Amino acid sequence: MAEPILQVENLVKHYPLTRGVLFRKQVGAVRAVDGVDFTLGRGETLGIVGESGCGKSTVAKMLVNLERPTAGSIRYKGEDITRLSGRALKAVRRNIQMVFQDPYTSLNPRMTVGDIIGEPFEIHPEAAPRGDRRRRVQDLLDVVGLDPEYVNRYPHQFSGGQRQRIGIARGLALRPEIIVADEPVSALDVSIQAQVVNLMDRLQSEFELAYVFIAHDLSIVRHISDRVGVMYLGRIVETGTDTEIYDHPTHPYTQALLSAVPVPDPAARERRERILLSGDVPSPTDIPSGCRFRTRCFKARERCAVEVPLLAVPEEFRAAGGPAAHASACHFAEERKVVPQERRGGPA
Amino acid sequence: MLLEVRDLHVEFRTRDGIAKAVDGVDFAVDAGETLAVLGESGSGKSVTAQAVMGILDTPPGRITGGEVLFQGRDLLKLKEEERRRIRGAEMAMIFQDALSSLNPVLSVGDQLGEMFVVHRGMSRKDARARAVELMDRVRIPAARERVGQYPHQFSGGMRQRIMIAMALALEPALIIADEPTTALDVTVQAQVMELLAELRREYRMGLVLITHDLGVVADVADRIAVMYAGRIVESAPVHDLYKAPAHPYTRGLLDSIPRLDLKGRELCAIKGLPPNLTAVPPGCAFHPRCPMARDVCRTDVPPLYEVTGTDAARRSACHFWRECLDG
């Protein structure tokens, strides 16, 4: 892996649940993120997938300091940014920018596109001298494939895909090293998604960006990611390179998730093995003991209720090596191919 | 034929002029068959569903032409009173957003039971018992205990099951499902689609599935109709269409989605944007985005040609479908 630029260790975010008005007392906690570790290399893309409520967006917010972690550390180039404040924090935040999911609500409707993309320069005036800003904004519009003449238009004059380009241009303004993108294409139409994904691909090589790409769509995550982490109820349950996760999953949750994704190939219908999970994700206020996935797991045994499985390379695979030897938090990890292999030679 | 839609036209009056949301749509569904209507936002797929179901908001919408033959009767010629009797009893609809489609202040048992009280004249007590049966049928655990609960007390997947139960209540011959699983997580989506497919087989219902998701279509549909700018641009059995699309828009869609089982290639995005429905380009509506477009495409609206030379019943609204089919 490339030189690490961001190291996350035991990241925790609990939201307290309180009762009473005058004598507030804590009666529990929403354990949104409950011990997450990962490392992001320079210029690399880490995909984080999971279903709604798994805590992936909360992780994103902590990375860009929109939420303060309850515990744990986020090291940017070795420095723990959760302990920084004031000027030092501001300097770091310049290098970690965010692109949001919803291009309809994440742009201020009363600001022109030029003001939206230029706003980061107001906050970090050292990034561009005042006289230079308009030109910089126009350059940014050009970089994301929009007409530089559009600077004086308002967000409502753009389509969803174009708005997401504006959001990306704003994220790029300060020339960050890391972009955290939370579901950046899920609000877009299919034909537009591809345009934005291709743009993000291009920008990554052009500006040597590292992405943390958060999404629920497993196909898109595979397309864009070098490494993937699968989250369930506030924890990463399996992580590895895209091939390791998609072609050699060992955690039952990953297997179920992958087997449930509809593949746009009707011929795969009969060849596919579906793992249907029973029930719903438990509430993060009341996380099951032991393995948190055991209540829906088709493999759960007694041991799973008492012993928390650690995210590590399972012993039986460690010696053998190969693509199955990647971190998986399951006592009974075993490889199972669930993504049908392509028959025809791929789309023309 | 269970449902046959012929040359349906729906217009909306907007500030920018008349929007032809549905501009001459034909399709048919047989009993026991699943037809997927695939399209992006603004393609007219949901408006088509609403017009067939008779729940189009008028105004601003207006059905300006065509026929909707349901078991031989033209629904568009019926009185509202008669349509209401058909709706729910003989054809039912499942919506995307279960939370806003269910009444928040009525228990799910009351809402399910209402179907039997209104359409079948049952007593409230009998209706309640049927409601529990239905909840069992769509596999909601502990149905007897939960029948008195309110929609917000159920998870998203469970609410969608309640919607399905409600649609099934009177055993209709046809179900129209508008993006039934779009708001759900993949593992729950798989459960709900599986349930829907199973119930459809069991009751031999016709299903019209409105969706934007090429993956879901490949999983469940028998036939597919692709919509673009208010028209059907291609229709075919699902296997044939995915193997060799006969319209450049369909081909573009298939090439633009990332695949779970493929990695690395650049996605072939369709350039540009779908047209504004108040200003649809002349000729073929897709021509400004089409890599194959020629002069004739800019002037002549392509009819829905019959695609010959294959065993399947296929149609394509492309002047050059033959070339497209050959890749």
Q: What is the ipTM of this complex?
A: 0.79
Per the CB < 8 Å rule, is B273 touching A280? no
Helix (H, G, I), strand (E, B) or coil at A206: helix
Helix (H, G, I), strand (E, B) or coil at B92: strand
pLDDT tens, B28-72? 999 999 999 999 888 999 999 999 999 888 888 899 999 999 999
Rounded Cα–Cα distance for residues B5 and B26 (Å): 5
pLDDT computed for residue B109 by the predictor: 92
Fold of A1-95+176-190+202-225: Rossmann fold (3.40.50)
pLDDT computed for residue A347 by the predictor: 42
Residue among A190, A243, A258 minimizing CB distance to B257:
A190
Chain B touched by A269 (CB under 8 Å):
yes
Closest chain A residue to B273 measured between Cα atoms? A192
Task: Give the mean pLDDT of A264-280.
Answer: 81
Residues of B in contact with A159 (CB under 8 A): 273
pLDDT tens, A149-191? 899 999 988 888 889 999 999 999 999 999 999 999 888 888 8
Rounded Cα–Cα distance for residues A291 and B28 (Å): 50
Residues of B in contact with A103 (CB under 8 A): none
pLDDT computed for residue B263 by the predictor: 67
Per the CB < 8 Å rule, is A219 touching B260? yes
- Reply yes or no on whether the pLDDT at A343 is more than 60: no
Residue B274's closest CA among B226, B309, B308?
B226
- Give the DSSP H/E element, type plus range, for residue A182: strand A178-182
DSSP secondary structure of A223-282: HH-SEEEEEETTEEEEEEEHHHHHHS--SHHHHHHHHHSPPS-TTHHHH----PPPS-PP
As a whole-number percent, the residues of chain A with pLDDT over 90 amount to 59
pLDDT band at A342 (very low <50, low <70, confident <90, very high): low
Listed in sequence order, the DSSP H helices in chain A are 56-63, 86-93, 113-123, 133-143, 160-172, 190-207, 218-224, 242-247, 252-260, 268-271, 302-306, 315-318
Alpha-carbon distance B242 to nearest alpha carbon in chain A (angstroms): 7
Q: Are B301 and B228 in contact (CB under 8 A)?
A: no
pTM, whole model, 2 decimals?
A: 0.86
Rounded Cα–Cα distance for residues A25 and B128 (Å): 41
pLDDT computed for residue B189 by the predictor: 82
Q: Are B11 and B24 in contact (CB under 8 A)?
A: no
Query: Average pLDDT, whole number, for chain B?
Result: 89
Sheet holding A71-76, edge to edge: A25-41, A4-19, A71-76, A79-80
* Total Cβ atoms within 10 A of residue A336: 17
Task: Give the mean pLDDT of A213-236.
Answer: 93
pLDDT tens, A22-67? 778 888 888 999 999 999 999 999 999 998 888 999 999 999 999 9
Map tokens 């309850």 to a residue: A70
- Reply yes or no on whether the pLDDT at A294 is more than 90: yes
The separation between CA B94 and the C-alpha centre of its own chain, rounded to angstroms, equals 10
Rounded Cα–Cα distance for residues B11 and A99 (Å): 37
Residue A216 dihedral angles phi and psi, to the nearest 5°:
-100, -10
pLDDT tens, A92-142? 999 999 998 888 888 999 999 999 999 999 999 888 888 888 899 999 999
Per the CB < 8 Å rule, is A260 touching B190? yes
pLDDT computed for residue A346 by the predictor: 41
Residue A312 dihedral angles phi and psi, to the nearest 5°:
-155, 165
Per the CB < 8 Å rule, is A161 touching B273? yes
- The answer to whether the peptide bond before residue A184 is cis (omega within 30 degrees of 0) is no
Q: Are A137 and A118 in contact (CB under 8 A)?
A: yes
Alpha-carbon distance B128 to nearest alpha carbon in chain A (angstroms): 24
As a whole-number percent, the residues of chain B with pLDDT over 70 amount to 99
pLDDT computed for residue B265 by the predictor: 66
pLDDT tens, B92-143? 999 887 778 889 999 999 999 998 998 889 999 999 999 998 898 888 888 8
List, in sequence order, every residue forming a beta bridge with B231; answer none if it has no partner.
Answer: B228
- Reply yes or no on whether the pLDDT at B183 is more than 80: no
Rounded Cα–Cα distance for residues B38 and A56 (Å): 30
pLDDT computed for residue B264 by the predictor: 63
- Reply yes or no on whether the pLDDT at A348 is more than 60: no
Considering Cα of B166, then B172, then B177, then B181, what sign does the dihedral take?
A: positive
Per the CB < 8 Å rule, is A277 touching B191? yes
Considering Cα of B211, then A225, then A175, then A206, what sign does the dihedral take?
A: negative
Per the CB < 8 Å rule, is A266 touching B194? no
Rounded Cα–Cα distance for residues B192 and A337 (Å): 23
Rounded Cα–Cα distance for residues B250 and B224 (Å): 11
Q: Where exactly does CATH 3.40.50.300 map onto chain A?
A: 1-95+176-190+202-225
Residue among A52, A246, A267 minimizing CB distance to B260:
A246
Domains located in chain B, CATH noted: 3-221 (3.40.50.300), 228-326 (no CATH)
pLDDT computed for residue A52 by the predictor: 83
Residue A136's closest CA among A172, A178, A91, A181?
A172
Rounded Cα–Cα distance for residues A186 and A104 (Å): 12
Residue among A52, A269, A279 minimizing CB distance to B185:
A52
Map tokens 């609000």 to a residue: A187
Residues of A in contact with B188 (CB under 8 A): 51, 280
Chain B touched by A205 (CB under 8 Å):
no
Class of residue B94 by CB neighbours under 10 A (exposed 0-12, middle 13-18, buried 19+): buried
Residues of B in contact with A195 (CB under 8 A): 269-271
Tokens describing residue A341: 């292999």
- Give the DSSP H/E element, type plus range, for residue B209: strand B206-211
User: Which residue out of B40, B186, B198, B209 would a mutagenesis test of the A interface target, given it has the greatest number of A Cβ atoms within 10 Å?
Assistant: B186
Give the single-character DSSP code of B319. Answer: T
pLDDT band at A229 (very low <50, low <70, confident <90, very high): very high
